[in-house]
Amino acid sequence: MATPVDPPAVLAPISQAGRIGLFLVRMLGSLRPQPSLLLSTLQQVYLVGARSLVIIMICGFFVGMVLALQAINALEQFGASDQVSLLVGKSLFRELGPVLTALLFAGRAGTSVAAEIGLMRATSQIDAMELMAIDPVQRIALPRFLAGAVSVPLLTAMFNALAILGAVVFSIGVMGLDAGIFWSKLQNGVYFQEDFIGGIWKSLVFGGLVSLVAVYFGFHAKPTGAGVGTATTNTVVLSSVLILVFDFIMTSFFT
Amino acid sequence: MRANYKVELASGIFLLLGIFALIWLATRATDYGKELGDEAYYVSARFTNVADLKDRAPVKIGGVTVGEIESITLDPLSFEAVVTMRLDQRFDEIPIDSSASVLTSGVLGDRYIGLEPGGDLEVLQDGDELFVTQSAVVLEQLVSKYLFNTRSEPEAEDEP
């Protein structure tokens, strides 16, 4: 692949965005519904999704507990500590669940994807594939991208579930709030359409973003050890920024 | 390139767990299933003042929720608030002369609409309008009325 001509420094971020967009188009353009694609996507779901499960669940549990702790502290001043589940549920479903899961996913799975593909580039495996007339974008990039987009919403759901459990453990188990009030506030105040489905959409977008960035930087890593390192760093930095930017955009336009 | 058996099993378990978590969250932690059935009909009412009544606020008869507020708009000619309510089809025997009032749950609670059933034999149909309404009681107006003790126009009752 020919190295692109360097644009003026000011335009670098814009052309970078353009290259990532073109890469996405190229990747989706190579999408052919084949059994082999399903199989390799499933394998990647295991590598990026299932293997991220434990860290997501542990983090979710503690996020739920600390949310409940802080919410009870604040709400107690108004004598409204039985509203804790509403506050925890709304903030989890709408913001914290999708964003934190995507950030963790970028650190746990995005880096490993970028490093893996970067190393393939460094050891000329991708060039070899091109020589054999196998499209590496279709064979390597697409399954990882799809697996990320599928995994992140599911991971978000598990993060949210564990966070709710964490909130239950803290507010009912430790602080002794009433369990019935906890669940009924949750079921009456958290809306399925706006809060729940909105959060799932967000996490789908975040999953696509993180895996797109990871795959892109892996593919375009310099074929050296340092190049692989730079690719993983860039993946975490850019995907974290993009997650937060897109979170704001989606929240302000779609709610 | 066939993924090996354990990998397939693990990713299958992961997918199932994720979907299970989605369903558990949707049914236990949101209002999913608590929404009214698809069988519903719409009834409107006009108020001079709805205070801070919000979309999706409950519509109650005798304290039991029978529907929710679909939309609140302003009639550009009469400057009345037009509230469209979505009522559950199970409650299709509400008399047409029932009255609607904007009430508050608790002292500082949320606003909702309370329906007081009338005695007419004719029942509300889709698209009907409730003619007997009572607007929200606004605290500031009560206080100023008490302070100045003026007998201004009575609170909008029996609004046409």
Host domain of residue B103: 40-148
**Which two tokens mark B70?**
């679909």
Please name the residue that has the structure tokens 């079921």: A187
Q: How far apart (Å, rounded) are the C-alpha atoms in residues B86 and B72?
A: 12
The confidence score (pLDDT) of residue A194 equals 83
Q: How far apart (Å, rounded) are the C-alpha atoms in residues B85 and B75?
A: 16
* A235 or A4, which is more confident: A235
Residue A15 has pLDDT above 70, yes or no: yes
Q: Which of A146, A170, A155 is nearest to A85 (CA)?
A: A170
Residue B89 domain flag: yes
Longest pairwise C-alpha distance within chain A: 70
Residue B107 and residue B122 in one domain: yes
**Which two tokens mark A122?**
């460094």
Mean pLDDT, chain A, whole residue set: 89
Q: pLDDT digit string (tens) for B124-160?
A: 888 888 888 888 888 788 888 888 875 555 555 554 5
Residues in chain A within 8 Å Cβ distance of B7: 42-43, 46
Of A45, A188, A200, the CB nearest to B11: A45
The confidence score (pLDDT) of residue A217 equals 93
The structural domain count of chain B equals: 2
Min Cα–Cα distance to chain B from A70, Å:
20
Residue B52 and residue B131 in one domain: yes
| Site from A48, A88, A154, A200 to mutate, B interface, most B CB atoms within 10 angstroms | A154
Mean pLDDT, chain B, whole residue set: 82
Residue B27 domain flag: yes
Residue B78 and residue B111 in one domain: yes
Residue B81 and residue B16 in one domain: no
Of B7, B31, B35, the CB nearest to A46: B7
A29 neighbors A145 (Cβ within 8 angstroms):
no
Q: How far apart (Å, rounded) are the C-alpha atoms in residues A184 and A226?
A: 54
Burial A33-68 (b: 16+ CB within 10 A, else e): eeeebebbbbbbbbbbbbbbbebbbebbbebbbebb
Residue A21 domain flag: no
Residue B110 and residue B83 in one domain: yes
Of B14, B19, B34, the CB nearest to A45: B14
Residue B157 domain flag: no
Residue B65 and residue B132 in one domain: yes
**Yes or no, beta carbons of B29 and A36 under 8 Å apart:** no
Residue B84 and residue B117 in one domain: yes
Of B1, B24, B32, the CB nearest to A40: B1
Residue B30 and residue B70 in one domain: no
Q: pLDDT digit string (tens) for A107-147?
A: 999 999 999 999 999 998 988 988 998 888 888 899 999 99
Residue B6 and residue B68 in one domain: no
Q: pLDDT digit string (tens) for A22-38?
A: 999 988 988 888 888 88
Residue B87 and residue B132 in one domain: yes
When pLDDT is cut at 50, 70 and 90, the band that residue A153 belongs to is: very high
Over range B1-8, report the average pLDDT.
Answer: 68
- Chain B: residue nearest A168 by CA? B29
Model ipTM value: 0.77
Of A42, A150, A187, the CB nearest to B30: A187
The confidence score (pLDDT) of residue B1 equals 47
Min Cα–Cα distance to chain B from A161, Å:
6
Q: Under an 8 Å CB criterion, which residues of A touch B?
A: 36, 39-40, 42-43, 45-46, 49-50, 53, 89, 93, 150-151, 153-155, 157-158, 160-161, 164, 183, 186-192, 195-196, 200
Residue B109 and residue B70 in one domain: yes
The structural domain count of chain A equals: 1
Min Cα–Cα distance to chain B from A183, Å:
7
The confidence score (pLDDT) of residue B83 equals 92
Residue B154 domain flag: no
**Yes or no, beta carbons of A161 and B25 under 8 Å apart:** yes
Min Cα–Cα distance to chain A from B21, Å:
6
Residue B22 and residue B58 in one domain: no
For B71, which DSSP code? Answer: E
Host domain of residue A100: 40-254
Burial A205-238 (b: 16+ CB within 10 A, else e): bbbbbbbbbbbbbbbbbeeeeebbebbbebbbeb
Q: pLDDT digit string (tens) for A202-243?
A: 999 999 999 999 999 999 998 888 999 999 999 999 999 999
Residue B155 domain flag: no
* Residue A18, CA atoms < 13 Å, CB-side half-sphere: 7
Q: Which of A4, A214, A47, A226 is nearest to A117 (CA)?
A: A214
